[in-house]
Amino acid sequence: MSRAYKVAVVGATGAVGRQMVECLEERNFPVAELKPLASERSLGRTVSFRGEELPVEVLTRESFAGVDLALFSAGAAVSREYAPIAVQAGAVVVDNSSAWRMDPDIPLVVPEVNPGDIGLYQKTGIIANPNCSTIQMVVVLKPLHDAATIKRVVVSTYQAVSGTGQKAVEELADQVRALFNNQEVVTKVYPHRIAFNVLPHIDVFLENGYTKEEMKMVYETKKIMGDDRIEVSATTVRVPVFYGHSEALNIETERKLTPERARALLAEAPGVKVVDDPGKNRYPMPLEAAGQDLTLVGRIREDFTIPNGLNLWVVADNVRKGAATNAVQIAEILVRDYL
Ligand code: A2P
């Protein structure tokens, strides 16, 4: 791999975009030139990359001249408008928004689960990066599904504010500070105070009573796992944690999977780390998952209320594996096998 690439990061000043830039550097991605793009609000700001301060440029239709690879994380509206423009200019797009995820012509990829789907990008020039809560769930489901065929998953999430973006990280910090200083608490990003509260509400409510985030977990899981028969029932919840999503999974399989066997399969699974020693108070937590790329799984135990059931607790850094790292891993396969 001797070639190096001109890489644009759209949304480079955001929570995920900044992490994308960090991941490119950390993982020594072959970047010849980095182009950080954001809105005019970011004019004058810089992004550090390999010891240099690169000026942020305003995203325009002309931004993609000569760009080989464009990583997008600036929301679905920006992706819908600019991803086709980037492709037209000759770039391959890895898109972290929800804009293209369910398009049948566009691959939706978690490298530990369905790396082979990446090749489908040749049809449109776009690869979609899944939703953060779906990514960490399917990394764990995949080895269990291969061994025992998953019929149904009931998942409840405990999602960090960084999943909403940088403004939500600041809102939680500001609210905590205000509360401790007896000042007025300002609520802008969420409909309610998030500090010391729990909101069973992520993304918009749909007519069926679920939120869009919950339905993303249903549809994206089927697409990534390549199996429409896997049923997912989700409740997605925002909690006052800065980084790291947690998930309680209840899984029903066709064939029996003991907790011991599940633990052994997960210990061998790529991208997964088993943290499961309750006697020593060892179980996955956001504070432990934050800042690294493994998906942690623990509290692996039998669900005694059904013949073939397991309960698991899964935690990962939502900004890294749930977004930026997954996108850069896709880009690594892209340059290794296709570009
Ligand atoms: P900006 O900071 O200039 O608004 P987050 O998810 O943390 O909120 O970050 C969103 C990212 O997407 C930011 O980098 C933001 O840039 C960028 N962004 C949002 N809207 C646009 C837009 N219309 N054009 C370009 N970048 C955008």
Instruction: Kindly state the DSSP code that residue 91 receives in the 8-state scheme.
Output: -
CB of 61 sitting under 6 A from ligand 1 = no
Upper half-sphere CA count for residue 76 (Cβ side, 13 Å): 8
The string over 247-261, giving b where at least 16 C-beta atoms fall within 10 Å of a residue's C-beta and e elsewhere, is bebbbbbeeebebee
Q: Are 111 and 329 in contact (CB under 8 A)?
A: yes
Q: Is 302 helix (H, G, I), strand (E, B) or coil?
A: strand
CB of 80 sitting under 6 A from ligand 1 = no
Q: Is 154 helix (H, G, I), strand (E, B) or coil?
A: strand
Contacts of 90 (CB under 8 A, 6+ apart): 64, 66, 67, 68
pTM comes to: 0.97
- Looking at this protein, which amino acid is placed at residue 203? D
Q: Are 1 and 50 in contact (CB under 8 A)?
A: no
**Closest protein CA for atom 18 of ligand 1:** 74
CA of 88 to the centre of ligand 1 (A): 22
Spans of the chain below 50 pLDDT: 1
CB of 39 sitting under 6 A from ligand 1 = yes
**Residues catalogued as catalytic:** 132, 245
CB of 166 sitting under 6 A from ligand 1 = yes
Q: In what order do the strands lie in the sheet with 31-38?
A: 57-58, 31-38, 5-10, 69-72, 92-95, 126-128
Alpha helix segments (H runs only) across the chain:
15-26, 76-88, 132-148, 166-180, 212-225, 259-268, 286-289, 325-337
Distance, CA of 293 to CA of 282 (rounded, Å): 19
The whole-number pLDDT of residue 245 equals: 98
Instruction: Kindly state the DSSP code that residue 45 receives in the 8-state scheme.
Output: -
CA of 17 to the centre of ligand 1 (A): 9
CA of 14 to the centre of ligand 1 (A): 6
CB of 38 sitting under 6 A from ligand 1 = yes
**Closest protein CA for atom 9 of ligand 1:** 14
CB atoms closer than 10 angstroms to residue 336: 9
CA of 26 to the centre of ligand 1 (A): 23
Q: Are 98 and 216 in contact (CB under 8 A)?
A: yes
| Chain-centroid distance, C-alpha 172 | 20
CB of 323 sitting under 6 A from ligand 1 = no
